Amino acid sequence: MTLAVCSRQYVATSPEGKQVNGQVEVLIPAEKGRFQWECEVRLGPIETSPFLVMGVDSWQAIQQAMHMTYVQIDHRERTGWKFLWLEDEAFGSRMLLPARGQERA
């Protein structure tokens, strides 16, 4: 079992109105070769397949994984999903990255 670098719990409501509890996770990066690191992103019950992102070092792999998390949650919000974070506060995907990181998304 690989440990998470960071995680955050959510309550999501699908466009059809089904509510699920879940957690987004960025796992500890793994070195796969020289300048080749990979980091897994798990979105919980809203996406059963994990995403694998790459970086030239562990730092970049984590940055890319955080960005992937934001992009995936933002996409779902744009398609009708609603998310509650941090004890039922409806901040939306914008709270997952600092404003500067959102410029690229």
When divided into structural domains, the chain yields a total of 1
Amino acid at 27: L
- Size of the chain in residues: 105
- What is the model's pLDDT at position 73? 93
Ramachandran quadrant class, 76 (left: phi over 0; alpha: psi -120 to 50; beta: rest)? alpha
Kindly state whether residue 101 falls inside one of the protein's structural domains.
no
Higher pLDDT, 87 or 30: 30
- Tens digit of each residue's pLDDT (9 = 90 or more) over 61-83: 999 999 999 999 999 999 999 99
Kindly state whether residue 104 falls inside one of the protein's structural domains.
no
- Cα separation of 96 and 105, whole Å? 12
Kindly state whether residue 97 falls inside one of the protein's structural domains.
no
- What is the model's pLDDT at position 85? 87
Structure tokens at 21: 């509890």
Q: Which domain holds residue 58?
A: 4-89
Contact indicator for 41, 24 with CB cutoff of 8 Å = yes
